[in-house]
Structure 1
């Protein structure tokens, strides 16, 4: 420090000390705060390396930055931004702002697994000081841009969650700064997060400033006064605000430690760079948030101590890229009012026209004019450096400037909002435009403003136009935001996309669509006439699987196992979901690689079930057509199934293994070994669990039916592979359910195994209908029979019979009370099986109403058993006569039946024949039919 600067703020100190003694009970506390603020400003101003304090996305900061860069022309620009994001900044020229620089990590090493994926974003708009510094440094020869803030890895190393176990926080501890500033699902970092951290202070400022929210206060009391100020005034006022908010911040130990560590980190990096390059601090500029500019850490300044040790990064591998951002996302990240960033962009454009300051824009930047880019790169002579002077005293004592009312601007706003309201269904007229104009002036006067701000105009428009209802999708407040600039969404250029995203654009190029354009576009694929479009179809189905819903949506066409596409129609919105596509590029170099990684991650997750692994097998076959991956995941599905002790996933397992088995039987010469092992292991597994599942209250009838469906449908394959059917019979014999639906399911299984006949099952149902105590539970028995159609579809006609008998036999006082229960039971538990019943009923019942009176149900028109036995006897006698004429055939049949006998003489009243066939008339009838057919 030089002695020439010692008395710079002495006058201001004296005035503040006098004010503290006048307004405070004791001068110590208030005096310490006020004089400490002045000391912070003086301390930062005296620093040999010029500190340029900024606020994020502030037009005043951007104008002051552009002006100062042209005056000073620094050779080194130190920027408060994550140091690992530096290589990406050159790609900004290929993007349409706003965009965000992103660091992304899917596989973490050194952080808790539940934090994955890790993401850090830093949004950049044209009306921001950081963009002005970046554009100046990248387009000006001989200028070096150095990012000095902590790396993305350190953002999470210093996260509050990492220290919770070691240092428990109080219940009312506010979240860390990064936790409170989320950009989508990512941690947001930015230059100049300048806002009171003391809630009472912010409330006090809003109340006395007669504003509704912080964005409006900043616009009225900082943006407008600093918009035309000189460099020293701007710099000292921003340092004053940063010091004030810093000294009045609550004493959150973790938050204070993170802030100070960031300042130590940045000053350590700057001193390292100065020592390595030998740069003169007078030729450097340090751009940081005003909150960090007013720092008192020991490492502050080029002459600070070198006591801070930067911890090494973790083993996590970070990916970096650019993603689209938007005004709305930035507002959400920093807790700003809706529309404030759009209003800031409008103020920025207006300030550029008014002050005629030439802003810096990257050469080739989307939306930038070439002439301006060239002019920005041309340096002008640096202004002479003057010693800092006290500008704060005059600024604080000067009354606010009363801007002249710009009637033309306000009138244009009023006319435009009425026009927009009419387009959105409001009954607005010219009288409403006049009312909005006058009300804006009235509100500004009530708030001590000579000129209405956009926020005054917004309130006036809502009051005069919206009335009671909103006829359309947008209310008047949103219409004003759109009129002031709207939610601008940035775009990352093709050259700045990761390899995966560029590969997707190249593969979909035959569709002839502008894929980077926002909005929905329709793609028509006639694959039958253009086979080369099948590659586009494959890519689209994988994108549908990987990206959020709406990015790629099929309108016509589907993808099933064993089928090839013919024609498809898609709605694509890849431009709208560009961020999701870019983040896929962080996971791999192709969508096939990313899809395979996702399928493996799903299958090998510790919470994965056999059903989810089979789903991964099906997806690998469906989208990747990879037999290698399908076999690997199928083998893992076998291991997962063997370890399961519940039957929750049985329905899904049955559905998927049936589909895969049908696919392999039609498309492969032999079944894969894994699916044979799966059928064999699953047969034994479900046989073991079957008795427990029948009695377990947590196992639903649908799950038990799925187990039986697996056992019966896979029985032939399992038996051919060495399984024993006795195991299934024992499992059914050991099952003793008490719940009615499971009891009916067990009866159906016994019919399938041949343990009971249909006549026995019909007798059981008749007994249920004849028991008044059981009739209320009959719908639950029917529910069990309906679910039994999954393992025993041959009982469809019997279920129709059971329902019909109930309607035929029960009187209305008994039938009507449980009819709703029957309907709801069938709807909730057997909706997918109801079509089987409907088709069978259509075949059983007559098709015309007139035939219903004479119709006899098939189960009532069965022949009499005695008559059937007599008929069989006569047919057997006829068969014996026939076989007596062919004794060799009779001897052969006797040998097959292991019957040892001799021919006997025929009795007088019956023809001669074999005694064996006389005892087995059914066999005689069958042989007769066989011989007659031959």
Structure 2
């Protein structure tokens, strides 16, 4: 190919011969770059290469749009995002256009939810193109890049897992850098070396720390005042260089080339349908894709590329807030680089006099007058035939860097401002530090062969001169420089651009009289007792707390439990800070209630759902939605999941939630729901079946086995009334043969509860353990089992206190002290929630005052009387309880009716002390007497 670039080819041939000892691979790369540039320059449809968030690209774009006034603008952006662009005027930049999907088809389930974001800032070429096309009559904006669905289709084909590019080159604010979540970023003009050695070479020889600084120094500043042809050719040159030196990853190369085939196919289809003249069109794309070598390149390229149909995934689109830090974190830019670019953009606008395009009514910008007619000069230029492109690269590459005069006023202003900011943040900075920063900036620029200190030089100088050995406040000097240069500008989506769900939330919370769109934390006070209408706000806030990330809605006072409602509540709300999460809820439904119901169903019917998780969904459905229908449906699902579980991992959570639901329905409804009755009977049989295995399973913990016993003992009365057989539990315990000390103690406690192991025998076994020197080191684990046994058998608390006290009383210090730390750590790790039972029992047993301790005798040391009749002095054993009960005939009649005894009082005389009825049942009388004596 011959033409205007023949002279440049000859120069590159001579350079390759001189530096590489003859033409070869280097010459092929250099000449190929020139071929790429010439091919793109001669394309009838003008290609405008850009770099994302580049002030030079934005200035060149605004200048070219006013000169050319194209009728069709093709933009490298996901084609399904086009309807959202008109809503940008209702937002404060930066924001991101988002595609979101939760119900996916054709993709791996662990990828859900799918999210694609394309951030937009004012200092970007794509925003200039969007604003021009939307506010200029007769101009059509066409998005030609692959759809959001194809983004993940091609990632699946390439075998890569699409995740956000996290990890910028500097420190980030977590809250701000996470605004995009785990979305896949779509960047217009992705221009960065993909060859690690090349980037390292550029940074080392450019004497810069990171890529953002290199781009600012060697591309932004030289191209800031360049003409259109020079800008295009330089950007094409850089794009071709990075493309030819990129690693040959087949999957990455195929995706890049398929994107280019996709975009050119869409542009040719649009030209064929509309009949537009390519000379009246402008194609805005990244410089990396502008230097393309695919066969489909150009309006006369081949048409062999077939676009695959979309999957069955249902995509929703919206706008989410963004920030400079979020953009830097997602695309791997240095901290503060986007803020510096925004400051550079404002300075270039003032210096060049270019009038940028802004959407009419754009929030956060000044109102501009829309020009509906083309300027005469631009119109005349458009009517004239375009001259052939000239070679501007030769002069640009041979010209040394422009030695601009040092802008002392700007640098002085920076030095003064950073000292003022440092003082406000606790630094002992003075005027001498401002002078030092000024001089050090000039010194660093000279050492780095720069004619003028850049913001990065100034930042290094400020850190060197002001930040000493410690940071007195929350921000270091580097962060203060970023704030001074413009800070982390935060975007906001306006009310009119919010999805219906988000607008509904704002409307329903209007009685709180808060500015919910404002960032930061706001306090909301709800006096529901005096203002019953605020109860609806309370219900909504509790649902938002369930659905939004932590911190979006945080209750300070008040709680929401089954059967309980607070009369006064206090909330800390940060809905403006978590606007992105609220907007994404709007992609899932039209109301908060609908989204919550969908999420509860999704959690309950998930393939890996456990019975505890389904019961949590049942509780949330009852608590927040008050839906008996949904609760019954999810309860039936919990019954199915429990029946198919083969592990006991969720037993503690199942026990806790079933107890709570059972207590609620017993007090709130006349009869229990059928699913709860079935759940109790199924759970009783299920845990009885798993109990022998759980006692010996190494994967099951003592706490889980104790929770199983707690379910069996706690639900036993209800289960037996519903038809369960207690013999199943007795057989399960008889088949259990644990070997681990804690589980052995747990089995003993269960047998004591069932009556198969009396307390005297249990006490004797513990005495045997303390008397065996070989078993004493393991005694703390036995105690741990007894402590966990308080969950199913809380009446065993006095015995646990006795066991611990006996150990401290009998064991000598040489034995007690070595395993005392083990006892403490074991009880703390495994039985912390059960400790209050032991403390209360110990407080009841032990004396309350210290002087009483000397004469105190433990209850278990007192002589034990044999069970049965305890005769009193002057009374016979057979009728010991007669005088007491005969003295209270009304109480005796009530007890007789309770026991089912029929009979009348028969006395030998007027004195009722010789009651014949009680005389007939001396054992019962003695037992009743003992019961009354205890109470």
1:659 has 2:660 as partner? yes
Aligned partners of 2:781 and 2:826 also within 8 Å: yes
1:379 has 2:374 as partner? yes
Structure 1 CA distance for aligned equivalents of residues 321 and 230 of structure 2? 35
Cα deviation for residue 744 of structure 1 reads 2.2
Structure 2 CA distance for aligned equivalents of residues 883 and 256 of structure 1? 98
1:42 has 2:38 as partner? yes
Aligned partners of 1:603 and 1:616 also within 8 Å: yes
Change (3 A) 1:477 1:839: same
User: Which residue number corresponds to residue 322 of structure 1?
Assistant: 319
1:248 has 2:245 as partner? yes
Trace 1:109-148 onto structure 2 (pairs within 5 A).
109-148=105-144
Aligned partners of 1:181 and 1:188 also within 8 Å: no
Cα RMSD over matched residues? 2.9
Cα shift readout 1:534-585 (whole Å, capped 9, x = no counterpart)? 1111111111111111111111111111011211111111111111111111
Structure 2 CA distance for aligned equivalents of residues 181 and 840 of structure 1? 55
Structure 2 CA distance for aligned equivalents of residues 775 and 351 of structure 1? 82
1:28 has 2:29 as partner? no
User: Which residue number corresponds to residue 99 of structure 1?
Assistant: 95
Cα shift readout 1:18-68 (whole Å, capped 9, x = no counterpart)? 222222222132222222222222211111111111111110110111111
Structure 2 CA distance for aligned equivalents of residues 29 and 765 of structure 1? 86
User: Which residue number corresponds to residue 767 of structure 1?
Assistant: 768
Cα deviation for residue 586 of structure 1 reads 1.1
Structure 1 CA distance for aligned equivalents of residues 199 and 208 of structure 2? 11
User: Which residue number corresponds to residue 285 of structure 1?
Assistant: 282
The secondary structure found in structure 2 opposite 1:437 is helix
Change (3 A) 1:716 1:263: same
Structure 2 CA distance for aligned equivalents of residues 866 and 231 of structure 1? 107
User: Which residue number corresponds to residue 172 of structure 1?
Assistant: none
Cα shift readout 1:602-651 (whole Å, capped 9, x = no counterpart)? 11122211111111111111121111111111111111111112222211
Trace 1:712-751 onto structure 2 (pairs within 5 A).
712-751=713-752
Structure 2 CA distance for aligned equivalents of residues 51 and 6 of structure 1? 20
Structure 1 CA distance for aligned equivalents of residues 847 and 215 of structure 2? 81
User: Which residue number corresponds to residue 527 of structure 2?
Assistant: 526
User: Which residue number corresponds to residue 214 of structure 1?
Assistant: 211
Change (3 A) 1:308 1:882: closer
Trace 1:745-824 onto structure 2 (pairs within 5 A).
745-824=746-825
Trace 1:602-617 onto structure 2 (pairs within 5 A).
602-617=603-618
The secondary structure found in structure 2 opposite 1:313 is coil
Aligned partners of 1:610 and 1:641 also within 8 Å: yes
Change (3 A) 1:251 1:735: closer
User: Which residue number corresponds to residue 621 of structure 1?
Assistant: 622
Structure 2 CA distance for aligned equivalents of residues 675 and 867 of structure 1? 41
Structure 2 CA distance for aligned equivalents of residues 254 and 645 of structure 1? 42
Trace 1:463-502 onto structure 2 (pairs within 5 A).
463-502=464-503
Aligned partners of 1:80 and 1:191 also within 8 Å: yes
Structure 2 CA distance for aligned equivalents of residues 203 and 747 of structure 1? 69
Q: Report the more deviating stretch, 817-826 or 46-55.
A: 817-826
User: Which residue number corresponds to residue 347 of structure 1?
Assistant: 344
The secondary structure found in structure 2 opposite 1:846 is coil
Cα shift readout 1:110-168 (whole Å, capped 9, x = no counterpart)? 11212221111111100000000000000011111011111111111111x4333xxxx
Aligned partners of 2:206 and 2:214 also within 8 Å: yes
Cα shift readout 1:458-497 (whole Å, capped 9, x = no counterpart)? 1111111112322222221111111111111111111111
Cα deviation for residue 761 of structure 1 reads 2.5
Structure 1 CA distance for aligned equivalents of residues 572 and 223 of structure 2? 48
1:335 has 2:332 as partner? yes
Cα deviation for residue 271 of structure 1 reads 1.1
Change (3 A) 1:230 1:878: closer
Report the TM-score, using the length of structure 1 for normalisation.
Answer: 0.92
Report the TM-score, using the length of structure 2 for normalisation.
Answer: 0.91
Structure 2 CA distance for aligned equivalents of residues 928 and 356 of structure 1? 105
Cα deviation for residue 79 of structure 1 reads 0.7
Aligned partners of 1:876 and 1:917 also within 8 Å: no
Structure 2 CA distance for aligned equivalents of residues 928 and 842 of structure 1? 27
For residue 296 of structure 2, the aligned residue among 293, 296, 299 is 299
Trace 1:367-516 onto structure 2 (pairs within 5 A).
367-370=364-367, 372=368, 374-377=369-372, 379-381=374-376, 382=378, 383-384=380-381, 385-516=386-517
For residue 157 of structure 2, the aligned residue among 143, 162, 169 is 162
Cα deviation for residue 836 of structure 1 reads 1.0
Structure 2 CA distance for aligned equivalents of residues 177 and 242 of structure 1? 25
Aligned partners of 1:358 and 1:376 also within 8 Å: no
Aligned partners of 2:165 and 2:329 also within 8 Å: no
Structure 2 CA distance for aligned equivalents of residues 883 and 29 of structure 1? 115
Aligned partners of 2:882 and 2:914 also within 8 Å: yes
User: Which residue number corresponds to residue 15 of structure 1?
Assistant: 11
1:837 has 2:851 as partner? no
User: Which residue number corresponds to residue 668 of structure 1?
Assistant: 669
Structure 2 CA distance for aligned equivalents of residues 152 and 110 of structure 1? 14
For residue 265 of structure 2, the aligned residue among 268, 276, 282 is 268
Structure 1 CA distance for aligned equivalents of residues 549 and 660 of structure 2? 27
Structure 2 CA distance for aligned equivalents of residues 929 and 483 of structure 1? 84
User: Which residue number corresponds to residue 191 of structure 1?
Assistant: 188
Structure 2 CA distance for aligned equivalents of residues 579 and 930 of structure 1? 65
**Structure 2 gaps, min length 5:** 169-179, 887-891, 907-912
Aligned partners of 1:176 and 1:255 also within 8 Å: no
Change (3 A) 1:846 1:453: same
User: Which residue number corresponds to residue 220 of structure 2?
Assistant: 223
Structure 2 CA distance for aligned equivalents of residues 203 and 930 of structure 1? 88
1:51 has 2:47 as partner? yes
Structure 2 CA distance for aligned equivalents of residues 144 and 23 of structure 1? 49
Cα deviation for residue 228 of structure 1 reads 0.8
The secondary structure found in structure 2 opposite 1:286 is strand
Cα deviation for residue 78 of structure 1 reads 0.7
User: Which residue number corresponds to residue 907 of structure 1?
Assistant: none
Cα deviation for residue 898 of structure 1 reads 12
User: Which residue number corresponds to residue 309 of structure 2?
Assistant: 312
Change (3 A) 1:869 1:207: closer
Change (3 A) 1:490 1:877: closer
User: Which residue number corresponds to residue 710 of structure 1?
Assistant: 711
Cα shift readout 1:743-802 (whole Å, capped 9, x = no counterpart)? 222222222222233233233333333333333333222222222221121222222222
1:149 has 2:151 as partner? no
Change (3 A) 1:927 1:483: closer
Q: Report the more deviating stretch, 73-82 or 640-649.
A: 640-649
User: Which residue number corresponds to residue 84 of structure 2?
Assistant: 88
The secondary structure found in structure 2 opposite 1:833 is helix
Cα deviation for residue 718 of structure 1 reads 0.6
Structure 2 CA distance for aligned equivalents of residues 47 and 313 of structure 1? 31
Structure 2 CA distance for aligned equivalents of residues 627 and 176 of structure 1? 40
Aligned partners of 1:132 and 1:360 also within 8 Å: yes
Cα deviation for residue 867 of structure 1 reads 11
Q: Report the more deviating stretch, 17-26 or 337-346.
A: 17-26
Structure 2 CA distance for aligned equivalents of residues 317 and 179 of structure 1? 24
For residue 60 of structure 2, the aligned residue among 59, 64, 78 is 64
Cα shift readout 1:204-247 (whole Å, capped 9, x = no counterpart)? 22222222221111111111111111111111111111122222
Change (3 A) 1:560 1:178: closer
Q: Report the more deviating stretch, 437-446 or 805-814.
A: 805-814
User: Which residue number corresponds to residue 922 of structure 2?
Assistant: 921
Cα deviation for residue 402 of structure 1 reads 0.8
Structure 2 CA distance for aligned equivalents of residues 762 and 28 of structure 1? 94
The secondary structure found in structure 2 opposite 1:80 is strand
